């Protein structure tokens, strides 16, 4: 019996020591990690879109709507996607008052073309919260699928530029004077020497300009490395003569070419004319329409 009781006392002592160790460990353990933020502040929404005058500049708008009752102190916003060569970053701090919406303009980097239809686009928004900063990566709303459109257009442009160089003239060619005049934009297409083919089906009219016949300008030819340079003469006729149409113009001198390539890309190639030629076109529209101060 004495031996048995001594064993019991020894077991009780060991158990008490174990409990003490466990309690000591619980006391010294660090508090649990709160983890990443649970999302944007309530009432804050993010979407992406593009204005028509941003097309040529390849600018994307990150719209941040603060529909909460608290001001939002934004540190930065970045659009990220594997479909582009890098992030498009807006890194100027901005305070978005409660109930206010702000558009942050970012320049898109070079497109990365390939079969990546399941790629996830994201906006990384960073804001100040108390004494520190919080950051959240989220998929923005894109109701008009502008990113898909930009990628498709950029990949068409990239595939075309690989095979040919398409250039507008520096000077507008004009036959006649005043209301009887016809202006010409002579577009040159020159092979780069790289492999592949580009087919140009037609050149489309714009909101300001169409062909003298009132239709698009037909092309219907294919270029490769061995082809000689070609010219597409565009005879111009104004589609409207109201001066404010020229004054408010955004895309009236951007000519859309319907193209297809041996690389598998097809769609619209936007030919943007230089500023000097655009000014000459505006002046000619004024003379052709018999108006002044056309642009």
Can you give the CATH number for the domain in which 56 is found? 2.60.40.10
Beta carbons within 8 Å of 219's beta carbon, 6+ residues apart: 200, 201, 202, 203, 232, 257
Rounded Cα gap, residues 253 and 270, in angstroms = 10
CA distance 115 to 36: 32
Nearest CA to 168 out of 20, 281, 15, 44 is that of: 281
179 CB-near residues (< 8 Å, 6+ apart): 288, 289, 290
Same domain, 176 and 122: no
pLDDT at position 93 is 95
Buried b (16+ CB within 10 A) or exposed e, 32-65: eeeeeeeebbeebebbbbbeeebbeebebbbbbb
User: What is the C-alpha to C-alpha distance for residues 97 and 220, in angstroms, rounded to an integer?
Assistant: 55
- As averages over each run of 10 residues, the pLDDT of the chain (295 residues) reads 41 40 38 51 96 88 96 97 96 96 97 80 94 93 95 96 98 94 97 98 96 94 98 96 88 96 96 96 94 51
Cβ-based neighbour number of residue 81 at 10 Å: 21
- Model's pTM, two decimal places? 0.77
What local confidence, expressed as pLDDT, does residue 131 receive?
Answer: 77
Q: In this predicted structure, what is the pLDDT of residue 232? A: 98
Sorted by sequence, the CB contacts under 8 Å of residue 275 that are 6+ apart come out as none
Structural domains counted in the chain: 2
Q: Which residues of 275-289 are buried (b: 16+ CB within 10 A; e: fewer)?
A: eebbebbbbbbbbbb
| Same domain, residue pair 52 and 119 | yes
For residue 38, being part of any structural domain is answered with no
Q: Are residues 67 and 93 in the same domain?
A: yes
- Pair of tokens at residue 176: 């006649």
The verdict on residue 99 lying in a domain is yes
- The reply to whether 172 and 254 lie within a common domain is yes
Write down the pLDDT at residue 25: 38
124 and 157 both lie in a single domain: no
Contacts of 284 (CB under 8 A, 6+ apart): 172, 174, 181, 183, 236
Give the pLDDT score at 115. Answer: 66
Q: Give the range of the structural domain holding residue 71, as residue numbers without chain letter.
A: 44-144
Instruction: Based on the fold, state whether residues 139 and 157 are members of the same structural domain.
Output: no
Last residue of a domain, one of 144, 159, 174: 144
CA atoms within 13 A on the CB side of 254: 13
φ, ψ at 59 (rounded to 5°): -105, 135
Q: Which of 129, 144, 159 marks a domain boundary?
A: 144
d(CA 1, CA 5): 6
Q: Which residue has the tokens 């709507």?
A: 65
Three-point CA angle 294, 251, 280, nearest 5°:
40
**2 belongs to a structural domain:** no
pLDDT of residue 295: 42
DSSP 8-state code for residue 119:
P
My answer on whether 56 and 132 are in the same domain is yes
User: 136 and 155 in one domain?
Assistant: no
The reply to whether 253 and 282 lie within a common domain is yes
Q: Are 143 and 77 in contact (CB under 8 A)?
A: no
């Amino acid at each position: 019996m004495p031996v048995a009781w001594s064993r019991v006392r020894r077991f009780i002592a060991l158990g008490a020591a174990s409990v003490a160790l466990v309690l000591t460990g619980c006391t010294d353990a660090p508090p649990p990690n709160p983890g990443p933020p649970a999302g944007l502040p309530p009432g804050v929404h993010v979407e992406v879109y593009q204005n028509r005058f941003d097309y040529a500049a390849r600018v994307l708008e990150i719209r941040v709507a603060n529909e909460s009752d608290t001001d939002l102190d934004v540190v930065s916003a970045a659009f990220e996607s594997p479909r582009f060569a890098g992030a498009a970053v807006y890194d100027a701090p901005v305070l978005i008052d409660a109930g206010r919406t702000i558009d942050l303009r970012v320049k898109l980097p070079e497109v990365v073309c390939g079969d990546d239809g399941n790629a996830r686009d994201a906006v990384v928004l960073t804001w100040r919260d108390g004494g520190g900063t919080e950051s959240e990566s989220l998929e923005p709303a894109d109701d008009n699928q502008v990113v898909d459109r930009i990628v498709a257009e950029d990949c068409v442009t990239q595939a075309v530029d690989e095979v040919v160089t398409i250039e507008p003239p520096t000077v507008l060619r004009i036959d006649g004077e005043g209301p009887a005049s016809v202006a010409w934009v002579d577009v040159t297409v020159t092979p780069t020497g790289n492999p592949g083919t580009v087919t140009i089906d037609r050149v489309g009219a714009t909101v300001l300009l169409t062909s003298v016949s009132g239709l698009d300008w037909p092309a219907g030819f294919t270029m490769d490395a061995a082809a000689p340079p070609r010219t597409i003469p565009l005879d111009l006729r104004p589609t409207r003569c109201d001066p404010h149409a020229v004054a408010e113009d955004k895309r009236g001198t951007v000519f859309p070419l319907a193209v297809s390539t041996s690389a598998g890309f097809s769609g619209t190639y936007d030919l943007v004319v230089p500023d000097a030629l655009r000014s000459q076109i505006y002046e000619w529209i004024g003379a052709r329409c018999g108006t002044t101060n056309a642009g």
